[in-house]
A and B are shown apart, each in its own frame.
Chain A
Amino acid sequence: MTGVHALNALGDGEREAFERHAAASPESAQEARELAETAALLALGTPEVTPPPRLKKSVMDAIRSTRQLPAVAAPADADDGVDTDADAGSSDPETAPAMESPRPPSSAPPAASPGSEAPTGPAVPAATKWWALAAGLLLLATGGLAGVVAVQQNEQSRLQEQLTAAQSSQAALHQLFASSDLKTAVQRLDDGATVSLSYSAAEGMMAVSTRGLPEPPSGHGYELWLISGDGATPAGMLSAEAVSAAEPTMVTGPMEGVTHFGITVEPEGGSPAPTTDPIVLQEL
Chain B
Amino acid sequence: MDYGHESVDPMRFPRIRIAAERPPTQEDLLRRVALGDEDAFEALYDAVAPVVFGLVRRIVRDPSQSEEVAQEIFVEVWQKAVLFDADRGKALSWICTVAHRRAVDRVRASQASRDRDLRQGIKEFQESYDDVQDQAVLRADGERVLKALDSLTQAQGDAIRLAYYGGYTHQEVAGLLQVPVGTVKTRIRDGMIRLRDMMGVA
Interface residues of A (CB under 8 A from B): 1-4, 6-11, 31, 33-52, 55-56, 58-60, 62-64, 66-72, 90, 93-94, 98-99, 101-103, 105, 119-120, 142, 144-148
Contact status B196-A48, CB under 8 Å: no
B175 → chain A, closest Cβ, in Å? 12
How many A-B pairs have beta carbons closer than 8 Å: the answer is 237
Shortest Cβ distance from residue B28 to the other chain A in the assembled complex, whole angstroms: 13
Chain B's interface: helix, strand, loop or mixed, by majority? helix
Cβ contact within 8 Å between B173 and A45: no
Indicate the member of A10, A39, A101 with the most B CB atoms within 10 Å: A39
- The residues of A that contact B35 with a CB separation of less than 8 Å are 71, 105, 119-120
B147 to chain A, nearest CB (A): 9
Bound complex: CA A3 to CA B176 (Å): 18
Residue B55 CB within 8 A of the other chain: yes
* CB atoms of B34 and A102 under 8 A apart: yes
Q: A39 and B50: CB pair below 8 A? A: no
Whole-angstrom CA separation of A144 from B98 in the bound complex: 9
Chain B residues with CB below 8 A from A9, complex form? 163-164, 168-170, 173, 188
Contact of B142 among A7, A45, A105 (CB under 8 A): A45
Q: Please report the C-alpha to C-alpha distance between residue A4 and residue B92 in the assembled complex, in whole angstroms.
A: 21
Report A-chain residues with C-beta under 8 Å of the C-beta of B145. 41-42, 44-45
Q: In angstroms, how far is the closest chain B Cβ from the Cβ of A171? A: 21
In the complex, the answer to whether A8 meets B104 with C-beta atoms within 8 Å is: yes
State the CA gap A129–B164 with chains docked (Å): 30
Whether A68 contacts B192 by the Cβ 8 Å rule is no
Residues of chain A within 8 A of B99, CB atoms compared: 43
For A98, list chain B residues within 8 Å (CB).
83
Provided the pairs A39-B97, A43-B55 are in contact, do residues A63 and B38 lie with their beta carbons within 8 angstroms? yes
Instruction: Return B66 CB to nearest CB of chain A, in Å.
Output: 8
- Output the least CB separation between B81 and chain A (Å): 7
Contacts of A45 in B (CB 8 A): 132, 138, 142, 145-146, 149
25 contacts between A and B (CB under 8 A): A3-B190, A3-B193, A4-B170, A7-B160, A7-B192, A8-B104, A9-B173, A37-B88, A37-B89, A40-B97, A42-B145, A44-B138, A45-B145, A46-B55, A46-B57, A47-B135, A49-B53, A49-B54, A60-B41, A66-B75, A70-B82, A119-B35, A120-B36, A146-B88, A147-B88
Residues of A within 8 A of B51 (CB): 43-44, 46, 48
- Across-interface contacts of B185 in A (CB, < 8 A): 1, 3-4
Cβ A38 vs Cβ B195 within 8 A: yes
